[in-house]
Amino acid sequence: MYDYGSHSEEQLIRKAKRGDVKAFSELYARIYKELYRFALYTMKHPQDAEDAVSETVIAAYENIGKLKKETSFRGWIFKILVNCCKKHLQQVCRTEQLNEEMAVQEVSQEENYDVREAFMRLEEVDRMIVSCSVFEGYSSDEIGEILELKPATVRSRKSRALEKMRGML
């Protein structure tokens, strides 16, 4: 049995690009928790997060040959995840129109919201920015690449989103 745990991420990516399923499985095992955590914070429900991660992994496996630089793997797979999350959220909005969980309601100053509730009231893009930055530790440049935004836009949206959350708390 061949040990893939000792391989670098770049080595595994090269093997996966050549069709090595076990190398891709090792890559997935190394990044699964980050993908799931991001999807969970974005999607609200564990099952939706699992579905988004599953869809992402399938798309990544099918398209790993299109990855140009091995060093870009994490940004590339997170970009796929962002697109899967966006697609799912758009489907939810279309099918349920005004889903109670997704509608922004009037926030009473007397009500006390916990951090998660405040987080879930942010716009989709702002949740993704805060998730990537605060929960996953990505820089503004990395988040900008993933979400196709300028780093300055990422920083200002993050700042406004956190201020909005403070106001809700």
User: Residue ranges per domain, the chain?
Assistant: 8-102, 109-169
pLDDT of 94 reads 61
148: CB partners within 8 A, 6+ apart: none
Assign a CATH topology to domain 109-169: Arc Repressor Mutant, subunit A (1.10.10)
Q: In whole angstroms, give the CA distance from residue 49 to residue 38.
A: 8
pLDDT in tens, the chain (169 residues): 466 777 888 889 999 999 899 999 999 999 999 999 999 988 878 999 999 999 999 999 999 988 888 788 988 999 999 999 888 877 766 655 544 444 444 444 444 457 778 888 888 889 889 888 887 788 999 899 888 899 999 999 999 998 888 888 7
Pull the structure tokens for residue 84.
Answer: 């899967």
pLDDT of 132 reads 84
Q: In whole angstroms, give the CA distance from residue 100 to residue 40.
A: 18
pLDDT of 9 reads 86
Pull the structure tokens for residue 152.
Answer: 């300055």
> CA dist 99 to 43, 48, 103, 117, Å?
13, 15, 6, 16
Q: In whole angstroms, give the CA distance from residue 43 to residue 40.
A: 5
CB atoms under 10 Å from CB of 51, counted, come to 16
CA gyration radius, the chain: 18
Whether the CB-CB separation of 129 and 154 falls below 8 Å is answered with: yes
Q: What is the pTM of this model?
A: 0.62
Pull the structure tokens for residue 133.
Answer: 């930055």
Angle between helices 140-147 and 151-168 (to 10 degrees): 100
Q: Is 161 left (phi over 0), alpha (psi -120 to 50) or beta?
A: alpha
What CATH number was assigned to the domain covering residues 8-102?
A: 1.10.1740.10
117 φ/ψ angles, rounded to the nearest 5 degrees: -60, -40
